[in-house]
């Protein structure tokens, strides 16, 4: 186990990806993450618990592939917080935890009697990080969101697409991943402050606000120059504005749905491209300078696409790599996971053991630490898998007491 964060215990109510992804990072670096779920609804608040993908098409509340992916190396307990005894157990757990995390809609913890002021009363230096789409403050704070909604309202969905067509969006919950990253940052920043000063605090994370901060200079172009992204011909997100490059795009290659990305950064890249492609159109006056190529980029893309479409994406990649032009085949999931030597040798897809699913590969972390590197060995907890362990080992209950609590429907 990594020792990087092994001195920290997280009382974790997070789920889905936007929350669970944050505590996955902490768990992979050795934090003790204790995930709390509702026994009555069998943890179904986390929709991923029982949804595909499944191994061998085996379905069930412990068999969701995404849930396993996002909850590696966490402990799972159940507490029926409708019951006063369960609330006492939660208070005991908060008392021995460093952080309380959740990504419920606003007000859920408050309803149970565990809002920030109450958490502080239990544990004065507690770090509390809440994460929801609109945050706990502001006119929309009672609204509901999912990753795709956060992406829509924050401008990310709009920013990805081709001119004249509806937004392409991002094709997946980019902001669930990224919201989780911001939540992990928030937890660790607050812990650093506590390490220095002994002081805990609350962080109000709104995924839509984190998302709005990701537009790069586009918002300054708006506040200073009044240049909107919603205008004729915009966005064209396979092109590059900052800095402008041409050609720059994703071009068809030989085969069905095969593509290759090419970026010419400067005159030198353009000259190298000309040396490889060797077609008469390269000499057109309309492509003489970068300014010309930017002005006539649609025509340029047509010509270059005509050249790429008769070769495989890997042939194009090899040919342009040889002259050191930025180029990359658009890889399918199978290609980047099982055939790209870079991801395999990096150890990016570790195998974890899940009690019901067996050995399953999951997303690893894209970093390596020289002294306290991450590890992933256990799959996500089955419902209530660690209730006995946590209540006895961490909170000092006897096995008989836990059995009794289970029979009473408390855990």
> In the range 73-132, which residues lie near another protein by CB under 8 A?
none
Does 153 sit near another protein (CB under 8 A)? yes
| Three-state secondary structure call for residue 375 | coil
**Which long-range contacts (C-beta less than 8 Å, at least 24 apart) are formed by 39-46?**
39/78, 39/79, 39/80, 39/383, 39/384, 39/409, 39/411, 40/80, 40/82, 40/409, 42/383, 43/15, 43/78, 43/383, 45/15, 45/104, 46/15, 46/16, 46/20
Does 20 sit near another protein (CB under 8 A)? no
Does 346 sit near another protein (CB under 8 A)? yes
Does 212 sit near another protein (CB under 8 A)? yes
**CB neighbourhood size of 288 (10 A):** 12
What does each C-alpha distance from 238 to 111, 163, 241 come to in angstroms? 46, 11, 10
Q: Tokens standing for 255?
A: 């085969």
Q: In the set 83, 92, 155, 284, which binds another protein (CB under 8 A)?
A: 155
53 upstream amide cis, omega within 30 of 0: yes
Q: In the set 14, 210, 296, 384, which binds another protein (CB under 8 A)?
A: 210
Residues 40 and 73: their CA atoms lie apart, in Å, by: 24
Name residues contacting another protein, limited to 307-336 (CB under 8 A): 321, 324-334, 336
Candidate ranges 142-150, 278-286, 382-390, 395-403; the one touching another protein (CB under 8 A): 142-150
Q: Residue 399 CB, nearest distance to another protein (Å)?
A: 30
Name residues contacting another protein, limited to 36-55 (CB under 8 A): 41-42, 44, 47, 50-55
User: Comparing C-alpha atoms, which of 291, 327, 290 is closest to residue 307?
Assistant: 327
Does 157 sit near another protein (CB under 8 A)? yes
Residues 215 and 255: their CA atoms lie apart, in Å, by: 34
Toward another protein, which CB reaches closer, 224 or 400? 224
What does each C-alpha distance from 320 to 269, 274, 335 come to in angstroms? 10, 10, 20
Q: Residue 33 CB, nearest distance to another protein (Å)?
A: 14
Does 156 sit near another protein (CB under 8 A)? yes
Does 184 sit near another protein (CB under 8 A)? yes
Name residues contacting another protein, limited to 188-207 (CB under 8 A): 188-193, 195-197, 199, 201-206
Candidate ranges 84-92, 216-224, 283-291, 391-399; the one touching another protein (CB under 8 A): 216-224
Does 138 sit near another protein (CB under 8 A)? yes
Residues 269 and 276: their CA atoms lie apart, in Å, by: 11
Q: In the set 15, 19, 133, 381, which binds another protein (CB under 8 A)?
A: 133
Residues 181 and 92: their CA atoms lie apart, in Å, by: 28
Q: Tokens standing for 327?
A: 């180029």
Q: In the set 233, 283, 298, 370, which binds another protein (CB under 8 A)?
A: 370
Q: Tokens standing for 86?
A: 């369960």
**DSSP of 309-355:** TTS-HHHHHHHHHHTT--EEE---HHIIIII-HHHHHHT-S-EEEET
Q: Residue 302 CB, nearest distance to another protein (Å)?
A: 13
Q: In the set 1, 108, 348, 406, which binds another protein (CB under 8 A)?
A: 348
Toward another protein, which CB reaches closer, 171 or 280? 171
Does 17 sit near another protein (CB under 8 A)? yes
Does 7 sit near another protein (CB under 8 A)? yes
Does 278 sit near another protein (CB under 8 A)? no
Residues 40 and 43: their CA atoms lie apart, in Å, by: 8
Does 185 sit near another protein (CB under 8 A)? yes
Candidate ranges 62-70, 273-281, 282-290, 399-407; the one touching another protein (CB under 8 A): 62-70
Toward another protein, which CB reaches closer, 38 or 385? 38
DSSP 257: T
Q: Which string of x and - marks every residue 231-270 that binds another protein (by CB under 8 A)?
A: ----x-xx-xxxxxx--xxxxx----x-xxxxx-x---x-
Q: Residue 153 CB, nearest distance to another protein (Å)?
A: 4
């Amino acid at each position: 186990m990594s020792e990087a964060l092994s001195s920290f215990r997280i009382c974790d109510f997070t789920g889905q990806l936007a929350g669970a992804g944050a505590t996955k990072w902490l768990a992979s670096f050795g934090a003790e993450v204790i995930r709390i779920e509702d026994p009555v609804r069998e943890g179904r608040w986390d929709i991923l618990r029982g949804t595909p993908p499944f191994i061998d098409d085996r379905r069930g509340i412990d068999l969701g592939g995404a849930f396993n992916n996002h909850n590696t190396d966490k402990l799972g307990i159940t507490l029926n917080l409708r019951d006063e005894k369960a609330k006492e157990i939660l208070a005991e757990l908060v008392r021995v935890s460093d952080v309380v995390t959740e990504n419920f809609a606003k007000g859920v913890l408050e309803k149970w009697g565990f809002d920030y002021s109450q958490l502080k009363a239990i544990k004065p230096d507690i770090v509390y990080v809440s994460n929801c789409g609109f945050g706990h403050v502001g006119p929309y704070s009672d609204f509901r969101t999912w990753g795709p909604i956060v992406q829509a309202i924050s401008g990310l969905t709009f920013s990805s697409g081709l001119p004249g067509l509806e937004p392409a969006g991002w094709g997946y919950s980019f902001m669930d991943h990224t919201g989780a990253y911001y939540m992990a940052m928030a937890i660790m920043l607050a812990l650093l402050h506590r390490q220095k000063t002994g002081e805990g605090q609350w962080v109000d994370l709104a995924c839509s606000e984190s998302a709005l901060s990701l537009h790069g200079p586009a918002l300054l172009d708006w506040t200073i120059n009044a240049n909107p992204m919603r205008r004729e011909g915009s966005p064209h997100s396979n092109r590059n504005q900052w800095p402008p490059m041409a050609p720059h795009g994703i071009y068809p290659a030989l085969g069905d749905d095969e593509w290759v990305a090419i970026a010419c950064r400067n005159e030198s890249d353009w000259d190298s491209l000309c040396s490889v492609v060797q077609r008469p159109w390269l000499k057109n006056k309309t492509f003489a300078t970068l300014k010309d190529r930017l002005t006539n980029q649609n025509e340029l893309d047509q010509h270059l696409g005509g050249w790429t479409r008769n070769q495989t994406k890997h042939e194009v990649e090899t040919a342009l790599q040889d002259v050191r032009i930025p180029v990359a085949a658009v890889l399918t999931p199978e290609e980047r996971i099982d055939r790209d030597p870079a991801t395999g040798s990096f150890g990016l897809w570790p195998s974890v053991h899940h009690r019901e699913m067996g050995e399953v590969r999951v997303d690893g972390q894209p970093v390596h630490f020289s002294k306290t590197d991450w590890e992933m060995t256990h799959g996500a907890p089955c419902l209530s898998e660690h209730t006995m362990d946590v209540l006895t080992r961490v909170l000092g209950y006897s096995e008989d007491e836990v059995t009794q609590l289970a029979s009473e429907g408390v855990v």
